[in-house]
């Protein structure tokens, strides 16, 4: 009887090791691309300097740059705003190109309130989109230098 018990234990041990052996395994992979937007400007700083004002007119200075936009969302718009008001007797106008398939707003006056510069922006991956700033001033403008920051934002329409 003692002999039979040992034999039974050996069979259980051998059977256990083969019961857990496998020649394949599975693994489930879950995929997702999250919504994202990346907007960048080419130049971190530009200078717009008016050297003279014509008789009976306004002085004018222009500067050009570009921006890039990578966006995988639909029905977006690009806005621009200043960090604070422009000084008295001055004005800053922006003409921005729109990405493919979007609509450009054309010349817009920049203020501290966000204004649309491109609408109907859908999935896009584009660089070299033109930005043109026009700074104007009358003879009443201060001659003190000043700085303004333009913030570009992509938001849902």
pLDDT tens column, 46-66? 999 999 999 999 999 999 999
Helix H or strand E segment including 9: helix 2-19
pTM, entire model: 0.82
Contact 102, 121 (CB under 8 A): yes
Asked if residue 9 has pLDDT above 50, the reply is: no
Asked if residue 21 has pLDDT above 90, the reply is: no
120-134 per-residue burial string, b: 16 or more CB within 10 A, e: under 16: ebeebebeebebebe
pLDDT bracket for residue 4 (50, 70, 90): low
Asked if residue 20 has pLDDT above 80, the reply is: no
Nearest in space to 70 (alpha carbons), one of 95, 105, 103, 99: 99
Asked if residue 130 has pLDDT above 60, the reply is: yes
**48, burial (CB in 10 Å: exposed 0-12, middle 13-18, buried 19+):** middle
pLDDT digits (tens, 9 = 90+) for 70-121: 999 999 999 999 999 999 999 999 999 999 999 999 999 999 999 999 999 9
| Domains within the chain, CATH numbers bracketed | 37-156 (2.60.40)
Q: Mean pLDDT lowest for which of 18-27, 30-39, 84-93, 121-130?
A: 18-27
CA angle 113, 133, 135 (to 5 degrees): 85
Asked if residue 7 has pLDDT above 60, the reply is: no
């Amino acid at each position: 009887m003692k002999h039979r018990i040992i034999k039974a234990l050996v069979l259980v041990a051998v059977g256990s090791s083969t019961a857990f052996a496998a020649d394949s395994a599975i693994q489930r992979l879950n995929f997702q691309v999250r919504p994202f937007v990346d907007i960048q400007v080419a130049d971190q700083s530009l200078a717009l300097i008016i050297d003279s004002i014509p008789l009976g007119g306004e002085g004018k200075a222009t500067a050009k740059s570009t921006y890039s936009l990578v966006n995988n969302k639909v029905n977006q718009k690009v806005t621009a705003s200043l960090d604070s008001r422009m000084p008295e007797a001055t004005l800053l106008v922006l003409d921005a190109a729109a990405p493919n398939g979007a609509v450009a707003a054309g010349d817009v006056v920049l203020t501290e309130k966000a204004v649309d510069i491109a609408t109907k922006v859908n999935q896009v991956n584009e660089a070299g989109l033109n930005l043109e700033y026009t700074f104007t001033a009358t003879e009443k403008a201060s001659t003190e230098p000043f700085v303004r920051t333009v913030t570009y934002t992509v938001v849902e329409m």
